[in-house]
Structure 1
Amino acid sequence: MPELPEVEALRSFLTDKLTGATIARTELLAFSALKTFQLPLSALHGGEVSEVRRYGKFIAIDVSGSWLVFHLARAGWLQWRDAMPAKPARPGRGPLSLRVVLADGSGFDLTEMGTQRKLAVYVVGDPQDVPMLASLGPDPLADEFDSDALAAILAKAGRAQLKGVLRDQRVIAGIGNAYSDEILHAAKLSPFKPSNALSDEEHARLFAAIKGELNDAIERSVGRAAKELKGEKKIGLRVHGRTGEPCDVCGTPIAEVSFADSSLQYCPGCQTGGKPLADRRLSKLLK
């Protein structure tokens, strides 16, 4: 799933490609992807792109006052084409969900792999008209997201586990499964530690890790073509998706906790005092 760093890199990429361009046409291939009906996709046709914004994991494109907003969900991606086919695509079972064609013949496709269709597209008069976007928590890279802001978030979360708090888009926008693993590893904190149980030192490490891990990932990603971002993300991860590999800090094998539809990775040596965390999927089966 693209998270804040990759979406920020996409925003930068699209800013360079789209600013000043005119939308010639759109082609909706996965009809379930379009979540709004007040404005049709045709409202974008003939409009000029003036701005591309990021809200958490959402991209919002200003097209002459109408906004094309999309969320790539778990299996979605954006593919840029310097030359789009002149013939419209045909709806089918393929991954293509939406095609946006510019007046110069270039454009981008929004695609989604797998059987679960969660990629979401909105055409609205204001990005805040998108319900999920309007409920987002603060951006962790915003200037106002300081140590005190994080402290207030953790206090309000109570005994909720750090992993879940970091991933909750209503609490902090943009961090998902992968970067929450990376942040907690950098901060040397257990993913199951209660949010309100951090010492001052642990709080400082967590705040530094949030800013540091996200900014480092953005620095690695911004400036790359859209097609390179998935590979760059995977290369840059130190614990997420690396079960069984040695931790590059202490050498302990990376461990995993599995859930019904996801998993987390952590280093027992760095984060849990050498103790393995209970596998929640297995624990549920044993009850």
Structure 2
Amino acid sequence: MPELPDITVYVERLAAKVGGSMLQRVRVLNPFLLRTAVPSISQAEGRRVVGVERLGKRVVLALDGGLFLVIHLMIAGRLRWFAAGAKPPGRIALATFEFDGGTLVLTEAGSKRRASLHLLANRDALTAMDPGGIDVLSADLAGFQQRLSAENHTLKRALTDPRLFSGIGNAYSDEILHRARLSPVALSHSLSAEQVRALFDAVRAVMTEWTERLRAAAGDWPDKVTAFRPEMAVHGRYGLPCPVCGAPVQRIVYADNETNYCARCQTGGKLLADRALSRLLKASWPRNIDDLE
């Protein structure tokens, strides 16, 4: 799922391409995409884009007259830019937004249709859609600590909770926790003041560095938006060496996601139980990273 760095670059490139331009036509190509009926999507046509914003992991086009188009890409949704008159891709295209200078196309890979489009009537409706997570790049340490300690969850769950922190998902939470040298299953109430500070610094550093990296790589448009990048330290790198200590990156698999971590850097060498695999191996399940070497 595109997270804060990816969404920020989308917003910046969209602002450069369509800011001040008239949205001539909206075509919804999949009936499951549009989640609002009032105002009618046709009411977005003929309006100028007066701003482009990020709302958590959503891209927002602010239109004159007070309307807001809200695009949530979910896991497999992507935004693509085509020259005016170019034919959009077939089966994966969910919607097109036509401007004088080109066409914005919302696509979604795979068979599951999770991406969504809302047209909202005013700023109050947009505010109501905000889960409430704080902007981690503008928050101070006190505000960050208050959110972190609001509930006693694992750090992985806390960082990815949109009610607590805005724009952090599965990929960058792994990178943040590795940078902070903290276990993904450590409880938020168990952290010392020094560990909270380390986590705060890691959040800001990882999100800033990756936003700058993706911004530089995007060129005219970010065509390669993915949660798996070879430059990442641990996310998506199960079995590969940790760039800090060289130990093989480990994982915890659950549902459709997995958490990647370095046992030596983050858990004192302890291997965290993978629910399925540890049950299968039972007594043979290794307890320490050194048992694997």
TM-score (norm 2): 0.89
Partner of 2:96: 99
Deviation at 1:261, TM superposition (A): 1.5
Q: Which residue of 2 aligns with 1:150?
A: 144
Q: Who is 1:123 aligned against?
A: 119
| Alpha-carbon distance change, 152 to 275 in structure 1, aligned in 2, over 3 angstroms | same
| CA pair 238-128 structure 1, distance change in 2 beyond 3 A | farther
Matches within 5 A, 1:1-287: 1-64=1-64, 65-85=66-86, 94-104=91-101, 106-130=102-126, 133-142=129-138, 145-158=139-152, 160-222=153-215, 224=218, 225-230=220-225, 234-283=229-278
8 Å CA contact retained: 1:240, 1:265: yes
Q: Give the stretch that moved more between structures: 119-128 or 30-39.
A: 119-128
Letter in 2 for 1:250: C
Distance 1:284 1:177 in 2: 24
Paired with 2:224 and 2:268, the residues of 1 have a C-alpha distance of 34
Is this contact kept in 2: 1:84–1:101, CA < 8 A?
no
- Take 1:115 and 1:271, find their aligned partners in 2: how far apart are those partners? 36
State the 1:247 CA deviation. 0.6
SS class of match (2:59): strand
1:252-273 residue CA offsets vs partner (Å, 9 max, x unmatched) = 1101110122111000110011
Is contact 1:53–1:59 with CA below 8 Å preserved after alignment? yes
Q: Distance in 2 between matches of 1:206 and 1:47?
A: 43
Work out the CA distance in 2 between the residues paired with 1:283 and 1:107.
49
Indicate the SS of the match to 2:185. coil
> How many positions carry a matched residue from both structures?
279
**Residues 99-136 of structure 1, C-alpha deviation per residue, up to 9 Å, x if partnerless?**
001134x1110001112111010111235425873323
1:232, distance to aligned residue in structure 2 (A): 9.1
Shift of 1:234: 1.4
Deviations 1:41-68 (A, max 9, x none): 2111111111100111111111212111
Which stretch of structure 1 is more off in the superposition, 14-23 or 76-85?
A: 76-85
Is the CA contact 1:20–1:48 (under 8 Å) kept in the aligned structure 2? yes
Q: CA deviation at 1:221?
A: 1.5
Q: CA deviation at 1:227?
A: 3.7
Give secondary structure in 1 for the equivalent of 2:186.
Answer: coil
CA separation in 2, counterparts of 1:111 and 1:284? Answer: 39
Whether the aligned pair in 2 keeps the contact of 1:217 and 1:236 (CA below 8 Å) is: no
Distance 2:132 2:160 in 1: 12
Contact 2:68 2:126 in 1 (8 A): no
Per-residue deviation, 1:229: 4.1
- 1:236 Cα offset (Å): 3.5
Alignment gaps of 5+ in structure 1? none
TM-score, L = length of structure 1: 0.91
Superposition RMSD in Å: 2.2
1:221/1:229 contact within 8 Å kept: no
| Mean Cα deviation higher: 112-121 or 146-155 | 146-155
Contact 2:80/2:223, CA 8 A, preserved across alignment: no
